[in-house]
Amino acid sequence: MTAQHHDGGHDPNLAHHFESMDQQRQSTKLGMWLFLATEILFFGGLFVFYTVYRGNHPEIFVFGAHFLDTALGALNTVVLIFSSFTIAWAVRAAQLKQIKLLKWLIIATMLCAFTFMGVKYVEYSAKWKHGLLWAGSYNPHLDHEETHDVVAVEGEVHTAEADVEIVEIDEVQHVAEGEFVEPIVTEVAIEPVAEVADSDRSTIAPAAEGPGGLATPEAVVAEDVMPVEPANARIFFSIYFMMTGLHGIHVLAGIAIMFWLLHCLRRGDFDTGHFTKIDMLALYWHVVDIIWIYLFLLLYLID
Amino acid sequence: MAVDTLAADGAAVGNPNRANYLNTGSGVLSWLFTLDHKRIGVMYLVAITTSFFLGGVFALLVRTELLTSGPTIMTADTYNRMFTLHGAVMIFLFIIPGIPAAIGNFVLPLMLGAKDVALPRLNLTSFWFWMIGATFALVSIIVGAVDTGWTFYTPYSTTTGTAVITMALGVFILGFSSIFTGLNFIVTIHKMRPEGMTWFKMPLFLWGLYSTAIIQVLATPILGITLLLLVAERALGVGIFDPTLGGDPVLFQHFFWFYSHPAVYIMILPAMGIISELVSVFSGKHIFGYKFIAWSSIAIALLSFLVWGHHMFTSGQSGITNMIFSALTFSVAIPSAVKVFNWLATMYKGSIRLATPMLYVLSFLFLFAIGGLTGLFLGALSVDIHLHDTYFVVAHFHYVMFGGTVIAFLGGLHYWWPKMFGRMYSEKWGQVSALLIFVGFNLTFFTQFVMGSHGMPRRYYNYVEEFTTLNQASTIGSYVLALGFFIMAGYLVHSLFRGKPAPSNPWGSATLEWETLSPPVAHNFDHDFLAGDPYDIDSLEYDPATQGWVRKDPQSIILPEGGTG
């Protein structure tokens, strides 16, 4: 602590209990880094879940990843990396007191964030449409394109591992009554979905290969790669929604902070070259970005 | 306060009505929106004391129910809620924020000779989060309470009909409050130390708070995500912990204890810091083994992350995992014992003053020794199979948490009370109450060691005939304990209005918080410090005029204008 007595004329941004702007900046920065450490640990819990479940049941992840749209995920990755660039530039602009540039860079970052959330919305609604939700609401149903995936045996439908999977979907009755549903490993008739009336959809059990969601037909047709639905595939979607959902909340928080920064900018907070607020948001934003990159790798690019 | 005033008019015993932090600004809003660490500390003190009262009432109801086997005053369902609320309130609302947020908030910046913590707004946010979290917990109590035990173990916590979501959200928010306090303390200790206060010239209470803060920052997020998943489990059915959906309930236990075992050290480390201050002051001696005490705090903080599995010896962990966790658990005993030996060595050949705070130090040493050593019984694999989930465990952690943390908290409260409120309490009643608490505590919980080793399971509503005497003794002990606290509340409140005005330094301590008036002025100090040895008690002498202690050479700790470069 240097003991310089700041009598008058000091920076209005300097709080009374600090000796110098430098001490204040250093303190804020250390605080921010510690906060980011807690953020990483917060997500770290989910990454541990991921590791444990993937270590024990890799097949769930191989299966589940087929339903994520790699193209959209990649688009979002690019968008976020670009926004990291704009916000880093914004810090530089704030240091150089380029207020107008600073404003546009914050706006550009916000646009990226909105784009990200928009793409996320498209992805989520596709999952919603296909019933590819977290375990408790997991109820996959079919799309017209995936007709060839339907595996039906005279109204009674089995997957290769129907014993567990069927429980929550259509065969609840059977299982509840203690009827043993024999896993079927022999070939089964494939019926085109066109012949399934809408009202009959609910009687269709999960397909052996599952619905494709927004995935490209090529990926789905690769029957040698595409495994049959393993037991507890639903857990993949629980992890997917928890991780991307929590990340999405962080993106929304970032957007809110950027609105506030624009307000600060209009108020003239940055006219003096006081860039700490921008710097802190930038650090936060980089962490949000990095977490997404890991999510993209770990959820979308399995195979 | 300028030191020359102190020298000139004997300042220290002043008029408690002069300008100070308590009367700078009035009205509820001046408190609720204050950024002053001292006021935030006092608000926390009121808040956690209220929680302690509430948790204590739940405990007394539990003990009263156990006065006889079979129904005594409540149904079994109510009983389940009562012991859950006792645990949840005491742990999340009282003991985790207790020492750091109440006493630490008040004392830490003063010990640094600073005007405030580094991030005052975050400090207030922490308090507000505490209030919001506490509100959630209260709402949960009103809408049906929780009957899972404070550990929220799945799968029961995902299926019970009680208000788990509200309580879990409350604890989640309280977690942020704890993180913010810890984060603030780390930054403050790193960036706000005065000239001359190197890391190894910090008062040991600051080492205690620092190692606590490390755990708060690194462990609490894990509790956050675990509780969030528990809430998501109940609200949406994400299935992560639900075996019927493919999840793993034991994973919840791992996650819960990955936080909650370190949390035990969040509770005990600042307590050990308090004891380190008090034992030196009231033995009239320099602390013995400063560096060992400082490093052992850090060692405990780091080891605390590696022992969570000892809560799960009976949960089906592999044998090798159990052995590793058992060995690591034993290793925690080393830094803990290092501390105890150094405290004893500090007392050795000291001139010990048996003032109220010192009585709590002696209680602490006695009770913590029992609590710590019985922890080794539980860390031993074969013994634990027998003792797991019995009253032996209940007695063990009450000896550590109550006999350790709460007793040290009370010692610290009595030690800093004159500084906080500028008034002395009745020493005589202080000693009576300390004695009652010591006797009541041992009667309540030593009996539980015996019951537990004879096989009485914890959390049971009924018991077999042979446990009647011990249960009744335990219940009577809890009433004695309550009487001790009742007396304490009486003389502390009395002192606020009628207490003798306190001198600046009533105990003869060399740390910087005693360099300001009691109670301190709003901005704490008028000058910067050149800090010296915080345990150099010989630099002080007793001043009969003020009945306090003053520095022989007041200028020695004042930083000359312009600093020393």
The answer on pLDDT for A160 being more than 80 is no
Q: Does A38 contact chain B (CB < 8 Å)? A: yes
Give Rg (Cα) of chain B: 24
Strand partners, B542: B549
Tokens of B21: 């932090």
Q: Could you tell me if A208 and A157 are in contact, meaning their C-beta atoms sit under 8 angstroms apart?
A: no
For residue B20, give the H/E element and its range: none
Task: Give A180's pLDDT tier (boundaries 50, 70, 90).
Answer: very low
List the single residue in A with minimal CA-CA distance to B114: A17
Start-end of CATH 1.20.120.80 domains in chain A: 21-132+235-300
Among A25, A38, A169, A287, the residue to mutate for chain B (most B Cβ within 10 A): A38
Per-residue pLDDT, A14: 84
Higher pLDDT, A292 or A196: A292
Nearest to A1 among B193, B228, B242 (CB): B193
- Residues with Cβ within 8 Å of residue B54, at least 6 apart in sequence: B89, B93
List the single residue in A with minimal CA-CA distance to B525: A17
Q: Which residues, given as ranges, of chain B have pLDDT below 50?
A: 1-12, 565
The answer on pLDDT for A201 being more than 60 is no
Domain boundary among B445, B475, B501: B501
Higher pLDDT, A41 or A233: A41
Nearest to A1 among B192, B232, B239 (CB): B192
Q: Does B181 contact chain A (CB < 8 Å)? A: no
List the single residue in A with minimal CA-CA distance to B189: A27
Q: Could you tell me if B495 and B421 are in contact, meaning their C-beta atoms sit under 8 angstroms apart?
A: yes
Selected residues 408-437 of chain B with any CB under 8 Å from a CB in chain A? none
Q: Which residues of B touch A61 (CB under 8 A)?
A: none
B539 with B475, same domain: the answer is no
User: What dotted CATH number matches A21-132+235-300?
Assistant: 1.20.120.80
Cβ contact A31–B225 (<8 Å) = no
Q: Which residues of B touch A3 (CB under 8 A)?
A: 195, 528, 559, 561-563
Selected residues 46-65 of chain A with any CB under 8 Å from a CB in chain B? 46, 48-49, 52
Q: What is the mean pLDDT of residues A191-199?
A: 43
In a domain, B560, yes or no: yes
In a domain, B112, yes or no: no
Task: Give A154's pLDDT tier (boundaries 50, 70, 90).
Answer: very low
B406 with B536, same domain: the answer is no
Higher pLDDT, A10 or A235: A235
B449 with B398, same domain: the answer is yes
B495 with B509, same domain: the answer is no
Task: Give A215's pLDDT tier (boundaries 50, 70, 90).
Answer: very low
Cβ contact B523–A16 (<8 Å) = yes
Nearest to B229 among A41, A231, A242 (CB): A242
Q: Which residues of A touch B187 (CB under 8 A)?
A: 27, 30-31, 34
What is the three-class DSSP state of A212?
coil
Per-residue pLDDT, B243: 86
Question: What is the extent of the structural domain holding B557?
Answer: 1-28+503-565
B434 with B545, same domain: the answer is no
In a domain, B369, yes or no: yes
Per DSSP, A154 falls in state T
Q: Does B238 contact chain A (CB < 8 Å)? A: yes
Handedness of CA B75, B80, B81, B82 (dihedral sign): positive
Nearest to A134 among B184, B238, B528 (CB): B238
What is the three-class DSSP state of B543?
strand
Domain count, chain B: 2
Q: Does A33 contact chain B (CB < 8 Å)? A: no
Task: Give A3's pLDDT tier (boundaries 50, 70, 90).
Answer: very low
Q: Does B240 contact chain A (CB < 8 Å)? A: yes
B410 with B484, same domain: the answer is yes
Domain boundary among B501, B519, B540: B501
Selected residues 186-215 of chain A with any CB under 8 Å from a CB in chain B? none
Selected residues 244-283 of chain B with any CB under 8 Å from a CB in chain A? 245-248, 251, 255
Residue type, B308: W
Nearest to A17 among B116, B245, B562 (CB): B116
Q: Does A45 contact chain B (CB < 8 Å)? A: yes
B486 with B371, same domain: the answer is yes
Distances A29 to A25, B118, B119, B416 between C-alpha atoms, Å:
6, 11, 11, 32
Beta-sheet pairing, B423-424 with B500-501: antiparallel
Among A17, A46, A234, the residue to mutate for chain B (most B Cβ within 10 A): A17
Report residue A29: phi and psi, to 5°: -65, -45
CB atoms within 10 A of CB A231: 17
Nearest to A136 among B190, B226, B238 (CB): B238
Q: What is the mean pLDDT of residues A252-270?
A: 95
Domain boundary among B480, B501, B522: B501
- Residues with Cβ within 8 Å of residue A143, at least 6 apart in sequence: A130, A211, A212, A213
Cβ contact A34–B220 (<8 Å) = no
CA dihedral A25, A30, A35, A39 (to 10 degrees): 120
Per-residue pLDDT, B559: 85
Nearest to A3 among B120, B190, B528 (CB): B528
Per-residue pLDDT, A128: 87
Per-residue pLDDT, B135: 96
Q: Could you tell me if B258 and B320 are in contact, meaning their C-beta atoms sit under 8 angstroms apart?
A: no
Q: How far apart (Å, rounded) are the C-alpha atoms in residues B135 and A122? A: 37
Q: Does B114 contact chain A (CB < 8 Å)? A: yes
Q: Could you tell me if B173 and B97 are in contact, meaning their C-beta atoms sit under 8 angstroms apart?
A: no
Nearest to A41 among B191, B222, B229 (CB): B222
Q: Which residues of A touch B191 (CB under 8 A)?
A: 23, 26-27, 30
Q: Which residues of A touch B248 (CB under 8 A)?
A: 52
- Residues with Cβ within 8 Å of residue B439, at least 6 apart in sequence: B477, B480
List the single residue in A with minimal CA-CA distance to B224: A42
Q: How far apart (Å, rounded) are the C-alpha atoms in residues B152 and B35? A: 35
Name the burial class of residue A194, with classes exposed (0-12), middle (13-18) and buried (19+) by CB atoms within 10 angstroms of its CB.
Answer: exposed
List the single residue in B with minimal CA-CA distance to A2: B563
Q: Does A253 contact chain B (CB < 8 Å)? A: no
Q: How far apart (Å, rounded) are the C-alpha atoms in residues B137 and A88? A: 41
Distance from CA of B162 to the nearest CA of A (A): 20
Per-residue pLDDT, A141: 76
List the single residue in B with minimal CA-CA distance to A237: B238
Residue closest to A248 by CA, chosen among A259, A258, A240, A237: A240
Cβ contact B255–A45 (<8 Å) = yes
List the single residue in A with minimal CA-CA distance to B221: A42
Per-residue pLDDT, B13: 52
pTM assigned to the model: 0.87
Q: Tens of pLDDT along B240-283?
A: 898 888 888 999 999 999 999 999 999 999 999 999 999 999 99
- Residues with Cβ within 8 Å of residue A176, at least 6 apart in sequence: none
B442 with B491, same domain: the answer is yes
CB atoms within 10 A of CB B555: 11
Cβ contact A238–B239 (<8 Å) = yes
Q: Does A242 contact chain B (CB < 8 Å)? A: yes
Distances A140 to A233, B227, B242, B422 between C-alpha atoms, Å:
11, 28, 20, 69
In a domain, B242, yes or no: no
Distance from CA of A214 to the nearest CA of B (A): 22
B489 with B362, same domain: the answer is yes
Per-residue pLDDT, B336: 95
The answer on pLDDT for A156 being more than 70 is no
Task: Give A231's pLDDT tier (boundaries 50, 70, 90).
Answer: confident
Q: How far apart (Å, rounded) are the C-alpha atoms in residues B317 and B325? A: 10
List the single residue in A with minimal CA-CA distance to B233: A136
List the single residue in B with minimal CA-CA distance to A168: B245
Task: Report how far Cα B182 is from the mean position of its chain's Cα atoms.
Answer: 13
B564 with B459, same domain: the answer is no
Per DSSP, B529 falls in state B
Max CA distance (Å), chain A: 89
Q: Whole-number mean pLDDT of chain A?
A: 77
